[in-house]
Chain A
Amino acid sequence: MLGFELDMFKIKEKLENMQMELEEPGNSLWKATLHKLCMNRFAVFGIFVLLFLVLFSIFGPYMVAFNYYQQNLSLGASEPSLTHFFGTDQLGRDLLVRMMYGGRVSLAVGICATLVSLTIGVIYGALSGYFGGRVDSVMMRFVDVMYALPFTMLVIVLMVWLGRNFILIFVAIGAIEWLTMARIVRNEVYCIKKKEYIEAARAIGLPGWKILYRHIIPNLLGIVIVYVTLTIPRVMMIEAFLSFLGLGIQPPMSSWGLLIKDGAQVMEEYPWMLFFPSLVFSLTLFSLNFLGDGLRDALDPRSKE
């Protein structure tokens, strides 16, 4: 009798130990991901650079005595100095402040357009993967057809149509960037759908939309986050590319693409006008790509370090 109680005690102790082991860091998916991400030096570097750039763009303009449209024609283009850290352009506008405002535009475009593409892509992909069969093949066929369109050109045509409307730029870019997201989500949903817990949810009589909303979409989170960090730089690149061609943001407002374009036109005389915006823009793309790669490795259960 006593022996049995001792056994029970031992088993209980063992169970507790197991529980302790389970709670150790690295056993929950998100903790493990975070841990792996922090081990990746490039990704951490990316996070810090991005944080700095966001703060720089949002709060920077309040700390500088100039604003983005304030001209100083008598000064003209001046080299970087103590009053104008990054110099000024031909109209005497402070480049540092213009870069901060440009950063606001670029980051806002990146985030908003990505959100638009995320919403469309996830809903479209989830529905396609969930329904499967005929619906799925028709929906995916449509995506295939869309892939064959010359996108850059359609964006340009859209820009000509929407003109100078800042907000519509987000929508236009997002409306075009959702295809890959839809494809990725669809494949993922297709796999999740076959798992036992979905079957269980169906067995207890959960309605279809609830299964989709409560059980499938949350499980897409990992792959979607990775893809979002890789979409943001792409979208920012498209915005900058449009502004560079003179079709995007219009002066006196500024964006990084526009500043690079202005700088490229006068690089012979005023090289700093090209260098600072190019540097910051490339740095942002670097950071986002490193972060995206890092997240992908961290969320990949096959990569155990």
Chain B
Amino acid sequence: MFAFLLKRILHAIPVLLIVATITFFLIRAAPGGPFSENKIMPPEAIASINKHYGLDKPLYEQYFSYMWGLLKGDLGPSFQYPNRTVAGMIADAFPVSFELGIMAMVFAIFIGIVLGVTASTKPNSMRDYVCMFFAMIGICIPPFVLGPIIIWVFAIKFEWFNVSGWGTFHDAVLPVITLGAIYAANVARLGRAGMLEVLSQDYIRTARAKGVPEYKVILKHSIRGGLMGVVSYISPAIAGVITGSFVVESIFQIPGLGRLFVLAAFNRDYTMIMGTVLFFSVMILIFNTISDVIQILINPKRSFTEG
């Protein structure tokens, strides 16, 4: 297992280098710089700021000095917020995104499994269609449609929740639903498919034949095998849910990483864009590795020695 992890870490290094290089040159190729949009400052001041941050040097020199900083673990200062470092701002924003993502995932797993298992107990019945209809809604209504609509219904019409904000559990309900819906839908579909497969097995027929009550057949005999697919879906989905919350954070004005990144992209905050992109890449790599480890541990057909 340690050899496996070591191999993963060694594989991650070139990936991160590629990400850093692509992002660096893409963002530098964009028109406008972090200070060029600011019309209030006289050109001399802009020039001196650019000089201060080394933005007047040739591009390749900036690239190497940034990469050198990166090797030392230094993500640089933020251009938009002069007295903050990128690392510091990410450290502030990450817990928010993490919390939101974990809650959304718990919501998604719970709702998804309930819908999927319920649907599978009576395939092609009304119950099945209703459950799968909800799953289809989750897949076809993207967060930027679902978000505004549930705000309109639950925050504006019924006034049960605040329109936006972050802090209490109450504030988290609508964003968690918005973010979790699509994952709940996928969990439901995977759960239904897995359960249907298990329920058609011979040992389930045997269990039924010897008179085990139906709820026990479902909860005791089939659920563990039926939800294998869900388990292997969950950990890559966690990476997606934590890193993919741009829209939800923008809609609900949540001070998380996604919003930080979108604002940075608008403001051409070079170091902040680089920092968040790299941070997200690291998160994706970590969760992918965790997901592989979990799958190897629960699936006897796979082992740590494979590629």
Q: Tell me if B152 and A286 are in contact (CB < 8 A).
A: no
A residues 234-293 touching B (CB-CB < 8 Å): 237, 240-241, 244-247, 257, 260-261, 263-264, 267-268, 271, 274, 278, 281-282, 285-286, 289
Asked whether B237 is an interface residue with its Cβ less than 8 Å from the other chain, the reply is no
Taking the complex as formed, is A161 at the interface, i.e. its CB lies under 8 A from any CB of chain B?
Answer: yes
Contact B27 A160 (CB under 8 A): yes
B247: chain A residues within 8 A (beta carbon): 241, 244-245
B23 at the interface (CB under 8 A from A): yes
**A76 near B: Cβ within 8 Å?**
no
| 21 A–B contacts, CB within 8 A, in A order | A148-B15, A148-B281, A153-B261, A154-B277, A157-B23, A157-B265, A157-B277, A160-B30, A161-B30, A161-B31, A241-B144, A241-B246, A247-B265, A260-B148, A264-B151, A267-B148, A268-B152, A274-B149, A285-B142, A286-B136, A289-B139
Task: Tell me the residues in window 18-47 of chain A with beta carbons closer than 8 Å to chain B beta carbons.
Answer: none
B280 touches A240 (CB 8 A): no
Which residue of chain B has its CB nearest to the CB of A284?
Answer: B140
Q: Cβ of B26: which chain A residues have Cβ within 8 Å of it?
A: 154, 157-158, 161
Beta-carbon contact of B276 and A268 below 8 Å: no
B144 adjacent to A240 (CB under 8 Å): yes
1/0 contact string of A90-108 vs chain B (CB within 8 Å): 0000000000000000000
B156 touches A145 (CB 8 A): no
Count of A interface residues, CB-CB < 8 Å? 37
Interface flag for A156 (CB, 8 Å): yes
Contact (Cβ within 8 A) A160 B268:
yes
The distance in angstroms between the C-alpha atoms of A145 and B31, with both chains bound, is: 28
Provide the bound-state CA to CA distance between A274 and B141, in Å: 13
Q: How far is A274 from B12 in the complex, measured between Cα atoms in Å?
A: 43
**For the complex, is A163 an interface residue (Cβ under 8 Å from B)?**
yes
Interface contact B152-A274, CB-CB below 8 Å? yes
**Nearest chain B residue, comparing its CB with the CB of A145:** B15
How far does the alpha carbon of A247 sit from the alpha carbon of B140 in the complex, in Å? 22
What does DSSP make chain B's interface, helix, strand, loop or mixed?
Answer: helix
Verify B136–A289 contact, CB threshold 8 A. yes
A156 / chain B contacts, CB cutoff of 8 Å: 246, 261-262, 265
B134-164, CB under 8 A of A: which get 1 and which 0? 0010011110110111011000100000000
Asked if A133 is an interface residue, CB under 8 A from chain B, the answer is: no
Residues of chain B in range 249-273 having any CB-CB distance to chain A below 8 Å: 250-251, 261-262, 265-266, 268, 273
Cross-interface CB contact of A245 among B30, B145, B246, cutoff 8 Å = B246
Instruction: Mark A residues whose CB is within 8 Å of B.
Output: 145, 148-150, 152-154, 156-161, 163, 233, 237, 240-241, 244-247, 257, 260-261, 263-264, 267-268, 271, 274, 278, 281-282, 285-286, 289
- Distance to closest chain A CB from B181 (angstroms): 12
Contact between A148 and B273, CB atoms less than 8 A apart:
no
A263→B141 CA distance, assembly (Å) = 16
Chain B positions within 8 Å of A257 at CB level: 144
Which 9 pairs between the two chains have the least Cβ-Cβ distance? Answer: A264-B148, A161-B30, A150-B280, A285-B140, A244-B144, A286-B140, A278-B145, A160-B30, A157-B26
What 1/0 mask marks residues of chain B from 8 to 31 whose CB sits below 8 Å from any chain A CB?
A: 000010110011001100110111
Q: Which residues of A contact B261 (CB under 8 A)?
A: 153, 156
Do A267 and B156 form a contact, CB below 8 Å, given A150-B277, A160-B265, A245-B250? yes
A150-B281, A156-B261 known; A267 vs B142 contact (CB < 8 Å): no
Q: A274-B152, A285-B140 are in contact. Are A150 and B145 (CB under 8 A)?
A: no
- Given A150-B277, A153-B276, A244-B144, does the pair A161, B29 have CB atoms closer than 8 Å? yes
- Chain B residue contacts of A289, Cβ below 8 A: 136, 139-140
Give the contacts of B159-195 with A (CB-CB under 8 A): none
User: Would you call A267 and B281 a contact (CB within 8 A)?
Assistant: no
User: In the complex, what's the smallest C-beta–C-beta distance from B133 to chain A, in angstroms?
Assistant: 10
B152-A267 in contact (CB<8A)? yes
Closest to B281 in A: A150
B149 touches A278 (CB 8 A): yes
